[in-house]
């Protein structure tokens, strides 16, 4: 068996704990919560719409135009975001016009904010044209926003100090036994 | 003009500052660093490969199998991740076999860790089956990892205290003047 960690040398990766240590025993499909998240927001068009909603967009035509995607794609993504509870319909009314329906983020949608901030910071490192772009800042002090990985006990945690485990190892082992090929 | 914020009511969104306040003046395309990031990691298949690399995967066939994607898709994504500087080739050798090439994350790739943690936490909220799944923890204390949005001055910042602005407003205004339709 190849020593995966060996190939990574001194470079930190996440340490696998418990039953998950022996990676060959498991296919991650279905276990990993990253996948769940990506089923919902794992497309560029979904995330640029979410970004526009954070910026205050409401109307369908504005959202599509500002996101730079076609109205057909925007309609499909917004329907999916509605189904997944990320956005909800909200009435709005322009002067002299009838009330129409727009969109806004639900609590679940607004919980994507750290991901949007993290993507912005990471995207910032990809090119050298630091002259242009938008950045998130703390409204009261003006300092740029970033995300920090911390544990529930309040420690700042870097990659070298991180590990991954099953949330319920007993359940995982029973599941594996029941699904043995 | 519709009052976008009105439709959001008391629900917080990001406050727009300076020239970006008048949202109708700008199309976000090209300005937003979220888009840059999504050009690189804005597909489900790219992100599940990145996850596998964080878990210590190296070999092409292992990466594809554990990510649950076809080898054709894995090959295409890994080539793109190589081009974008997210992964690099690394030699490995199994006993009695010739040296072969695998993959590992570069520094730029490992900088995606907060995004992977944030996606995991957010994915955790999407379904009710809290019995199953994988979670990131602090190796030394065992407490689960999460991400926290903070400003460069160290304040914890929630969505209601967040704003967005051009990194170089003068440049943005000159650009707009030069590209006026």
Using one digit for the tens of pLDDT, what is the confidence trace for B100-150? Answer: 899 999 999 999 999 999 999 998 887 665 557 889 999 999 999 999 999
Question: If we measure between CA atoms, which residue out of A166, A29, A100, A139 comes closest to residue B21?
Answer: A139
CA distance A1 to chain B (A): 7
CA distance A80 to chain B (A): 14
User: From CA A73, how far away is CA A90, in angstroms rounded?
Assistant: 20
pLDDT surpassing 50 at residue A118 = yes
Question: If we measure between CA atoms, which residue out of A26, A15, A56, A120 comes closest to residue B56?
Answer: A15
CA distance B72 to chain A (A): 18
Residues of B within 8 A of A33 (CB-CB) are 119-121, 123-124, 126, 133-135
User: From CA B42, how far away is CA B47, in angstroms rounded?
Assistant: 8
Helices (H), ranges, B68-167:
71-83, 107-110, 113-124
CB contact under 8 A, A12 and B102: no
CB contact under 8 A, B40 and A119: no
Count of pairs with CB atoms under 8 A, one residue in A, one in B: 404
Q: Select from A126, A133, A172 the Cβ nearest to the Cβ of B40.
A: A126
Q: Does B167 touch chain A (CB under 8 A)?
A: yes
CB contact under 8 A, B68 and A28: yes
User: From CA B148, how far away is CA A117, in angstroms rounded?
Assistant: 10
User: From CA B63, how far away is CA A24, in angstroms rounded?
Assistant: 11
User: Where do the CATH 1.10.10.10 domains begin and end in chain B?
Assistant: 32-106
Both tokens of residue B126? Answer: 């999407």
User: From CA B121, how far away is CA A147, in angstroms rounded?
Assistant: 13
Residues 101-120 (A) with a CB less than 8 A from some CB of B: 102, 104-105, 108, 110-120
**Which residue in A131, A133, A152, A174 has the most chain B C-beta atoms within 10 A of its own C-beta, making it the best mutation to test that interface?**
A133
Residues of B within 8 A of A117 (CB-CB) are 149
The helices-and-strands tally (H runs, E runs) of chain A is 8, 6
ipTM above 0.95, yes or no: no
Residues of A within 8 A of B1 (CB-CB) are 94
Q: Select from B27, B93, B123 the Cβ nearest to the Cβ of A37.
A: B123
User: From CA A54, how far away is CA A112, in angstroms rounded?
Assistant: 10
CB contact under 8 A, A118 and B123: no
User: From CA B140, how far away is CA A53, in angstroms rounded?
Assistant: 39
Q: What is the DSSP string of A25-39?
A: G---TTT-HHHHHHH
Three-state SS at B25: helix
Residues 26-55 (B) with a CB less than 8 A from some CB of A: 26-40, 42-44, 47-48, 51-55
CA distance B83 to chain A (A): 12
Q: What is the pTM of this model?
A: 0.89
Q: Can you state the angle between helices A33-41 and B113-124, rounded to 10 degrees?
A: 90
How many other C-beta atoms can be found within 10 angstroms of the C-beta atom of residue A130?
Answer: 9
Give residue-wise pLDDT tens across range A129-163: 555 788 999 999 999 999 999 999 999 999 999 99
Residue in A with minimal Cα distance to B25: A66
Both tokens of residue A95? Answer: 């002067």
**Which residue in B5, B6, B7 has the most chain A C-beta atoms within 10 A of its own C-beta, making it the best mutation to test that interface?**
B7
The helices-and-strands tally (H runs, E runs) of chain B is 8, 6
CA distance A76 to chain B (A): 17
> Yes or no: is domain A27-125+133-178 CATH 1.10.10.10?
yes
Pairing of strands B162-166, A134-138: antiparallel
pLDDT digit string (tens) for chain B, length 181 residues: 344 556 676 677 888 888 888 877 776 666 778 888 888 888 889 999 999 999 989 999 999 998 889 999 999 999 999 999 999 999 988 888 888 899 999 999 999 999 999 999 998 887 665 557 889 999 999 999 999 999 999 999 999 999 999 888 888 888 878 876 5
Query: CATH fold of B32-106, please?
Result: Arc Repressor Mutant, subunit A (1.10.10)
Q: Can you state the angle between helices A44-54 and B33-41, rounded to 10 degrees?
A: 160
Three-state SS at A59: coil
Both tokens of residue A139? Answer: 């409204």
Structure confidence at residue B169 (pLDDT): 86
Q: What is the DSSP string of A116-128?
A: HHHHHHHHHTS-S
Q: Does B166 touch chain A (CB under 8 A)?
A: yes
End-to-end alpha-carbon separation of chain B, Å?
Answer: 21
Q: Does B149 touch chain A (CB under 8 A)?
A: yes
Sequence length of chain A is: 181
User: From CA B146, how far away is CA B136, in angstroms rounded?
Assistant: 8
| C-alpha distance from residue A48 to each of A45, B33, B176 (Å) | 5, 11, 21
Cβ atoms of A145 and A115 within 8 Å: the answer is no
């Amino acid at each position: 068996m190849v020593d995966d960690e060996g190939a990574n040398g001194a470079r930190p990766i996440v340490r696998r704990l418990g039953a998950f240590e022996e990676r060959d025993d498991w296919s991650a499909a279905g276990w990993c919560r990253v996948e769940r998240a990506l089923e919902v927001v794992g497309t560029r068009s979904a995330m640029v719409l979410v970004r526009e909603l954070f910026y205050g967009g409401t109307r369908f035509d504005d959202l599509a135009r500002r996101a730079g995607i076609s109205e057909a794609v925007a309609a499909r993504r917004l329907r999916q975001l509605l189904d997944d509870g990320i956005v909800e319909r909200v009435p709005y009314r322009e002067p002299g016009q009838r009330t129409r329906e727009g969109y806004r983020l639900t609590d679940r949608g607004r919980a994507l904010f750290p991901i949007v901030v993290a993507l912005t910071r990471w995207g910032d490192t990809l090119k050298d044209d630091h002259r242009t772009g938008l950045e998130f800042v703390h409204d009261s002090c003006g300092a740029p926003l970033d995300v920090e990985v911390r544990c529930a006990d309040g420690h700042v945690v870097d990659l070298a100090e991180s590990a991954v485990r099953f949330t319920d190892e007993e359940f995982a082992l029973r599941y594996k036994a029941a699904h043995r090929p």
